[in-house]
Amino acid sequence: MTADPTFNDDVLGLIDGRSEDYDPCNWVGCTCDPASNWVSKLRLDAFSLSGHIGRGLLRLQFLHTLVLSNNNLTRTLNPEFPHLGSLQVGDFSGNSLSGRIPDGFFEQCGSLRSVSLANNKLTGPLPVSLSYCQRR
C-alpha cells in the first residue's frame, strides 16, 4: 500500500464523503463513532505505508486519534495538520519524516493532548508555538 497524495485524498474522500459503496467503519485500523458514524480513529501503525501524509486527512474533522507510527512516511509535516480541531492523539513516530517542524505547527492546539514525533529525521529546534499548548 502506498500513501501518495492521490491515494490519500481518494481514500479519505471515501471516508469523509460516506460513499454508499464503501463503509470505512469496517476497514482494518478505522474506528467510527457509534452515534455519528464519522471516523474517529485511524490506527495504521506498522501498515508498511510509504510516501507523505496527504492533505486528505484535513477533511476528517471528527478524528480524535491518528496513529501512523512505524511506517515509511517521508517529507515534512504538513503545517495545516493541527487544524484538525478534534484531534487529541497524533503518533507519527518511527517514520522518515524530515526537515523542521513548521514554526506555527502548535499554534492551534485545540484538543491536542499527545504528539509523538520520535525516531524520525526531523531537524532544528522545537517551535516556540509548542508553548501555546497547555496541560489540561
- Condensed to tens digits (0 to 9), the pLDDT of residues 51-81 reads 988 888 888 989 999 999 999 999 998 878 7
| Domain containing residue 123: CATH number | 3.80.10.10
Domain count across the chain: 1
Band of pLDDT at residue 19, cut at 50, 70 and 90: low
Q: Are 106 and 127 in contact (CB under 8 A)?
A: yes
Exposure letters 18-48 (e unless 16+ CB within 10 A, then b): eeeeeebbebeebbbeeeeebbbbbbbeebe
Say whether pLDDT at 134 is over 80.
no
Return mean pLDDT, the chain. Answer: 83
Calpha distance 132→118 (Å, rounded):
20
- What is this structure's pTM? 0.81
Give the residue from 76, 67, 26 showing the smallest Cα distance to 49: 67
Calpha distance 49→93 (Å, rounded):
13
Full residue range of the structural domain in which residue 95 is found: 5-132
